[in-house]
Amino acid sequence: MKVLVVGGGGREHAIVWKLSQSPRITKLYCAPGNGGIASLAQCVDIKATDIEGMLAFAIEQQIDLTVVAPDDPLAMGLVDKLQENGLRAFGPTQKAAIIESSKVFSKELMKKYKIPTPEYQSFQKYDDAIAFLDKISFPVVIKADGLALGKGVIIALSRQEAEKALADMLLDKKFGEAGNRVLIEEYITGPEVSILAFTDGNTVIPMVSSQDHKRAYDNDEGPNTGGMGAFSPSPYYTPEVAEYVEKNIIEPTIRAMAEEDRTFQGVLYFGIMLTSSGPKVLEYNARFGDPETQVVLPRLKTDLLEIMEAIIEKKLDEIEIRWDERAAVCVVLASEGYPGSYEKGVPIEIKEGKPEILLFHAGTLKTEQGFVTNGGRVLGITALGRDLEDAVGSVYQNIGSVYFEGMHYRRDIGKKAEL
């Protein structure tokens, strides 16, 4: 079987790594892939958002299954395009991916189906949004409706900050079309957990829980990033919490999407905050999260290809999904300056790691001289351990197996897990 994975970050490396263990796959491609993925799959130089290029490649190579991992091609309808051309694709259709690509849509869905989420109002006009600020207290959360590379959410501590965020989005179009509509949302607090779930639109099977670290520096300080590390499981996600979330959030969401004629098939990610008044949904992602995938997939024992095919064929109820009891931790090694501007092309030294260590490349390029940096987040080191403490110890002991000039990483990944 020939399989193509669309994307080229740490998440895609983890997906390709897992699929490469599937005995039925004879050829793996990844577009565009990266330096590390190149050792497991043939990398093809097509951008993830080049819908026509991707379709042409899949037709030409007679790809049996295309796995669409990133948000943009899903929102642009790559899965629909492939299916219309008689090709099998894993991921939600454009109609279903709207659960991520429009935050206004997802809030209205939650309101209609009584799924717990912070209170909100949506606005298209700047003056209306400003007038609303008179009626509320601060802090408040301002969100751009569309995909904004993780930069479209502002926690405004004061009215002044809220006005600036609204002006940036609605008047100055800082986020382009993604900011044509905005949400003003109630600010809530509590630990955040990420729950990814496999679903064929009817059956839904949650994966093991995880937590990520979005801020650039230790103790959750500094600017937001694409993610500096993750761990699994989350100690906050107890069996009681899981039962509540499945009954009141996960299952109702899958049913709601089917009822709206937007049946969701793929991986649905639930960003959940555990507040003093119960778990609430912050957002949905229509795909695997990054870097959560780098701690969740190493714990998956079942063949990922079997699960993906069962989802496409709507037979997920026939599959048993098994997990490794061990904990996993992933620490991201970033370029100097990230998430601001950074250099590319810095040589990377990689020594042979221990067998319990997995190295997932995020932004690397393979050259004749060896690997060089090619992005802000360069690599992720994942370790498995008896428990979180053990996995944290192991990951930090092995950081020395990678070096590049300016390498920056957080030293407190997994510390949020201390209850």
List residues binding ligand ADP (CB under 6 A).
118, 141, 150, 152-153, 155, 185-188, 192, 271, 282-283
Residues near 137 by beta carbon (within 8 Å), at least 6 away in sequence: none
* Minimum gap (Å) between residue 110 Cβ and Mg ion: 15
CA distance 253 to 106: 10
**Beta strands per DSSP E along 72-139:** 89-90, 120-123
**Minimum CB distance to ligand ADP smaller for 185 or for 260:** 185
* Minimum gap (Å) between residue 35 Cβ and ligand ADP: 27
Q: Could you tell me if 185 and 120 are in contact, meaning their C-beta atoms sit under 8 angstroms apart?
A: yes
H helices of 5-49, in order, are 10-19
CB atoms under 10 Å from CB of 315, counted, come to: 13
Q: Tell me phi and psi for residue 186, to 5 degrees.
A: -60, 135
How many residues belong to the site for Mg ion (CB under 5 A)?
A: 1
Q: Which residue is nearest to ligand ADP (CB)?
A: 283
**Minimum CB distance to Mg ion smaller for 53 or for 271:** 271
* Minimum gap (Å) between residue 187 Cβ and ligand ADP: 4
* Minimum gap (Å) between residue 285 Cβ and Mg ion: 7
CA 374, distance to chain mean position in Å, is 20
Binding mask 242-271 for Mg ion (x = CB under 5 A): -----------------------------x
Q: Which of the listed partners (Mg ion, ligand ADP, none) does 79 bind, with a CB threshold of 5 to 8 Å by partner kind?
A: none
* Minimum gap (Å) between residue 151 Cβ and ligand ADP: 7
Q: Is 186 helix (H, G, I), strand (E, B) or coil?
A: strand
Q: Which of 200, 205, 202 is closest to 311 using CA atoms?
A: 200
* Minimum gap (Å) between residue 368 Cβ and ligand ADP: 38
**Minimum CB distance to ligand ADP smaller for 141 or for 384:** 141
CA distance 122 to 183: 4
**Minimum CB distance to Mg ion smaller for 190 or for 271:** 271
**Minimum CB distance to ligand ADP smaller for 90 or for 120:** 120
